[in-house]
Amino acid sequence: MATCTHDCSTCGSDCGSRSKTSLIKPAHKRSHIKRVVAVASGKGGVGKSLVTSLLAVRAQAMGYKVGILDADVTGPSVPKAFGAAARATGAKDGIEPVLSGCGVKLISMNSLLEHDSDPVVWRGALIAGAALQFWTDVIWGDLDLLFIDMPPGTGDVPLTVFQSIPLSGVVVVTTPQDLVGMIVEKAVNMANLMNVPLLGLVENESYFICPDCGKKHEIFGKSRAEELAKKYAFPAFAKLPFDPALARLADGGRIAEADTDPLAEVFARLLTSREIKNYL
């Protein structure tokens, strides 16, 4: 059998990959989740966790019931951004997520470790399995939106999430540098390959506003957000500034206090996308 390209239109084999629904895993029996949105990038360090947290904060502030599944098993950071130091607890039939101070439900590997600094030294299959268990074994209850903070790259965990969790779409995060843009395009192409809708593009660290003169400076290079959004037909894009104050809020566990207005357009399109609007 030839190597699978995940493009069933070019293949005559009758295998499980032909029907994506055959690979979908059910959520926990006590989870009732209307829609799931992944936040992804082909590159690490571009701000996926930040964007995930800000989208969740905005949704929660608008009255939606929201959760975050931190699928970055070896580099979890979401609980710290929300100041959620509590550990997840076991129930008779599953795992109870951590409830942040602002009401967002969270599950992360750091919610299960004894110490935040304990490393997760696992091979890829175990890491992907753990990320999937955050979907199948966690008792999410009633949620309008579950955001998945994805690890970088297009390997085991992203493939498992894209194939096994019923995603409504993906928000892609990038930064202005050409090298980053090239790698991020790999994540975009993966989403297209897996038939997952592209909901929005967020360019993090897009610009810096000088506190002295008030001028906007593109310190990491010219913005490519509009170019990438047009090239890949994103319905919306946003630009987040390089903002030390925002970093301080995340580091201090106070991300719920952050200004989410720069993401307003992406969030609005997320809510009105065909894949989501009929369920919210």
Residue 273 is part of a domain; what is its CATH number?
A: 3.40.50.300
- What span, in angstroms and rounded, lies between the C-alpha atoms of 78 and 190? 24
Residue 256 forms part of a structural domain: yes
Residue 90 forms part of a structural domain: yes
The pLDDT value given to residue 13 = 57
Average pLDDT over all residues of the chain: 89
Q: Which two tokens stand for residue 99?
A: 């409830």
Q: What is the mean pLDDT of residues 192-216?
A: 92
Residue 1 forms part of a structural domain: no
Residue 19 forms part of a structural domain: no
Asked whether the predicted pLDDT for residue 3 surpasses 70, the reply is no
- What span, in angstroms and rounded, lies between the C-alpha atoms of 67 and 57? 10
Residue 12 forms part of a structural domain: no
Burial of residue 76 (number of CB atoms within 10 Å: 0-12, 13-18, 19+): buried
Residue 273: which H helix or E strand, with range? none
Asked whether the predicted pLDDT for residue 5 surpasses 90, the reply is no
Q: How many domains does the chain have?
A: 1
Percent of the chain predicted with pLDDT > 70: 90
The pLDDT value given to residue 1 = 42
Helices (H) then strands (E): counts for the chain: 9, 11
Q: What is the pTM of this model?
A: 0.89
Residue 6 forms part of a structural domain: no
Residue 143 forms part of a structural domain: yes
Confidence grade of residue 7 (pLDDT, cut at 50, 70, 90): very low
The sign of the dihedral angle between the CA atoms of 117, 123, 127, 129 is: negative
Range of the domain at 42: 28-277
pLDDT tens-place string over residues 88-126: 999 889 999 999 999 999 999 999 998 889 999 999 999
Residue 15 forms part of a structural domain: no
